[in-house]
Every structure is written in structure tokens, then in C-alpha cells.
Amino acid sequence: MKEIIIQNPNNLPTINFRNLMQLQGDLKNITKTNLEKLKQSIIKYGYFVPAFVWINEGKYYVIDAHQRIKALLSLADEGLKIPKIHYIEIEAENKKEAAEKLLFINSRFGEINPDTDFFDDFDLDLDILKEIEIPELDFDVLNPEIGNDKKENTKLKMGLSLGESYDYIVFRFDNEFDFRFICDYFELENEDFSKTKNEKLVGIGRILHSDKLLKLIQ
């Protein structure tokens, strides 16, 4: 039986993941696609990020690691052996404070820089974008000079699914008249943008709510 590797170099305490209790409820969901990505990352790299746990009256509540536990459950159902996982204890006076700390842990105060040099700095293959889920990192923006033939072969594809972080549609206009008509119709006065390291402007502020668009075509 294949066994998932648990990377615990600091000898943190461990626990059977099935003994961990959920705390976040329906706060977050994970799609089948992203669950598969997470499972494959655990198979490839092992389980290396400890769970954050609040211990109360002998019960172990998950503060951070809910999606990883879902992935472990799925891997176990597929026949893989899952050893005990390591965890870090988070202190909280009560369940309310534990829930508040859960929200802080899940908060993203920092923003992903779409023009980052991170991939170049560490010589990372951009194909890794197929394995992770960071919507702000766009393959074509990170490769503005990539050839058309290579673009066709390497661009990312994703199924249409409502509820994803990318559940929007962007319209491209071939003429100024149509573009200005839509801008006037929806009262779009400002055009936010970001500038890439290659001085390419990338629009980020012209996303319309579906209600308005549906009214327009009815």
C-alpha cells in the first residue's frame, strides 16, 4: 500500500487526521478540480504544512487545514495509507475566539503581484500554474512575449463553473464605437489598470455584473 510522506522536521506533535473536528462549517468550498490538484500536490511533495488546531475539552478542532484534510480523506478512500499528521496548537479562550482566529488565518492582507519576478528569480517552470490555484497569476501576462504557436499549446484551460474565483466573462471589442457604447451604457467612467514589467497595460476594472448584461440583451 502506497503511503503518503509526512514531513515533520521539527518533531511537532501528531494526530490521526480522522480525529480532527471541523470548525469552519460552510465558510469555504473546494471544487473537484482544485481538490484533485491538492491531492496531487500531497502525493508529489508529501504532507509538509502542519495543521493549526484548537484543543478544547479533549477535542481537536481544525483552525487551518480543512481542505488538506478533505484531500487526505479522499486519498485514504483511494487506498493510500495516511500516517499521523503534525499540528501546531492555537490558543483561544472559547469557540468564538477560535472562529475569529480562523478568519484571520484565512485573510489575505497581502496581494499577489501579477507582475512578479518570482518565477524568474527562482527559475520556476510556469507549468506549475496548472497545479496550483492563484487566480491573480495569469499565464499570458507573465509571458507577454511568448510566441503565438507556443501560446496555443501552453495556455491554460479550465471548465466553466459558477462559484469559482474566475467566474466572469471578459469582452474584447474590435472597434472604438462598440466599446464606447458599452462604456456609456453601463456608465463606466474609470478604467483601472496595472502595468507589467514590460510596460504592458492590463485592464482590471471593467468587469460588469451579469444582471446589467442580461437586461441589455433581453
> Which pLDDT belongs to residue 152?
47
Compute the half-sphere exposure of residue 12: CA atoms within 13 Å on the CB side of its CA.
18
Taking alpha carbons only, the member of 93, 88, 98 closest to residue 24 is 98
Which domains are present in the chain? 14-106 (3.90.1530.10), 118-217 (no CATH)
The top-scoring range by mean pLDDT among 38-42, 154-158, 164-168, 182-186 is: 38-42
Residues 99-123 pLDDT 10s:
999 999 999 888 888 778 888 899 8
**Chain Cα centroid distance, residue 107:** 13
> Which pLDDT belongs to residue 95?
96
Is 0.85 topped by the overall pTM? no
Distance CA 207, CA 87 (A): 41
> Which pLDDT belongs to residue 1?
79
- The mean pLDDT of 110-137, rounded to a whole number, is 83
CB atoms within 10 A of CB 90: 19
C-alpha cell at 169: 466573462
**3-state secondary structure at position 43:** helix
Residues 14-64 pLDDT 10s:
999 999 999 999 899 999 999 999 999 999 999 999 999 999 999 999 999
202 bridge partner residues? 194
